Homo-oligomer: A and B are copies of this chain.
Amino acid sequence: MTNKFNQNYIYKPKKNLSIKEVVNGVLKADTKVLAQAITMLESKNQKDRLLIYDALSEIPASKEKSFRIGITGSPGVGKSTFIESFGKHLSNLGISVAVLAVDPSSKLNGGSILGDKTRMEELSNLDNVFIRPSPSKGELGGTAEQSYESILLCEKAGFDVILFETVGVGQSETHVKQLVDFFLLLVLAGAGDELQGIKRGIMELADAILVTKADGENIINAKNTKNNYQNASHLLPKKESNWVTRVETCSGTENKGIDKVWDILNEFKKHSINNGWIQENRTKQNVFWFHQKLNQFIKNDFFSRKGIIEKLQKIELEVRNSKIDPFKAANKLFRNES
């Protein structure tokens, strides 16, 4: 990971890459090419996407798998601050990091994404770090539609660790689980009853829960919260990986507890390599994504037909106004088009 790309956030007007350029760029871990390839993945132009699909198919699987870590938490919990501290910690240890952030606040402006994650600027200037925010559109309910391909690109580029950040809103988390090896939930310190606010489903997925902003006057509060989560986590069903959810506190701004997180991750890695879970899980994920992508290709093919979106919207409105059965409507649209 020797290439440096200081312009993580400043995307040039789209210059389309050739398949060869993508393949070579990814193999050299050229972050500029990586960023452009992801832009092409997110393009509305199917041609752009298909080119990256072809490139992805040409690049052989990397021998070393990246350690994929999902990071989620409500807005305001301090995900960016944590990722900045954590990313710097890894970078200092000589570990290369790709950060894929699904950012609902980022906006697509004619092909260029203007990131507003200024806090991550310092991190993005480091040598072995690649940061790429993505707008949170797409079918995976909150995560970008092309997350899987983006992760594949980073893995094939040889990053040691991939941090995949999402906003913790509902159903997307079960999909994220299909993308990552480890799932980290960030929560805020607060009174005990805030546990109710967190969807139990998300807690069930978490391999570690991190109480953020454990600094200054907030430390006692954070420790209490940690205890509450620890108690609650005992009630959760046992994980397939046989891993017991860990709860810790940290402070991104004071840079405390960050090293503990990396220790936990390494413990987890050792644990799940030893019991075979990590490989088993990857195989399951691979089968999942095979079907998922196949279905996506089939659907995209149908919905990319000329005029189909207009027809769909028209008939959906009729469904909404009870002018036509949903079943009849689907049947009609499909029959006319097939």
A152 → chain B, closest Cβ, in Å?
A: 6
Q: Of B297, B302, B333, which one neighbours A330 at CB under 8 angstroms? A: B297
Q: Within residues 51 to 76 of chain A, which ones have a CB less than 8 A from any CB in chain B?
A: 53-54, 56-57, 61
Instruction: Contact check, B152 vs A325: say whether CB atoms are below 8 A apart.
Output: yes
Check: A301 CB closer than 8 A to any chain B CB: yes
Q: Within residues 212 to 265 of chain A, which ones have a CB less than 8 A from any CB in chain B?
A: 235, 237
Instruction: Contact check, A53 vs B200: say whether CB atoms are below 8 A apart.
Output: no
Check A290/B326 contact, CB under 8 A, given A201-B200, A320-B283, A334-B298: yes
Check: A10 CB closer than 8 A to any chain B CB: no
Which residues of the other chain, B, contact A119 by a CB distance below 8 angstroms?
none
> Bound state CA distance, A327 and B295, in angstroms?
12
Check: A289 CB closer than 8 A to any chain B CB: yes
Which residues of the other chain, B, contact A283 by a CB distance below 8 angstroms?
320, 322
A312 → chain B, closest Cβ, in Å?
A: 8
Among A152, A290, A328, A332, find the residue whose CB has the most chain B CB atoms closer than 10 A. A290
Q: Of B57, B299, B333, which one neighbours A327 at CB under 8 angstroms? A: B57
A180 → chain B, closest Cβ, in Å?
A: 15
Check: A270 CB closer than 8 A to any chain B CB: no
A-B residue pairs in contact (CB < 8 Å), sample of 29? A53-B327, A54-B331, A56-B325, A56-B328, A57-B325, A148-B327, A152-B325, A200-B200, A200-B201, A283-B322, A285-B326, A286-B320, A286-B322, A286-B325, A286-B326, A287-B326, A288-B326, A289-B330, A290-B316, A290-B327, A290-B329, A290-B330, A293-B326, A294-B330, A294-B333, A296-B330, A297-B331, A297-B334, A298-B302
Give residues in A with beta carbon < 8 Å to B: 53-54, 56-57, 61, 148-149, 152, 196, 200-201, 235, 237, 283, 285-299, 301-302, 312, 315-316, 319-320, 322, 325-334, 338
18 additional A-B pairs beyond A149-B327, A299-B299, A301-B334, beta carbons within 8 Å, are: A56-B325, A56-B328, A57-B332, A148-B327, A196-B237, A286-B319, A286-B326, A287-B316, A287-B319, A290-B327, A291-B316, A292-B330, A293-B326, A294-B312, A294-B334, A298-B298, A298-B299, A298-B334
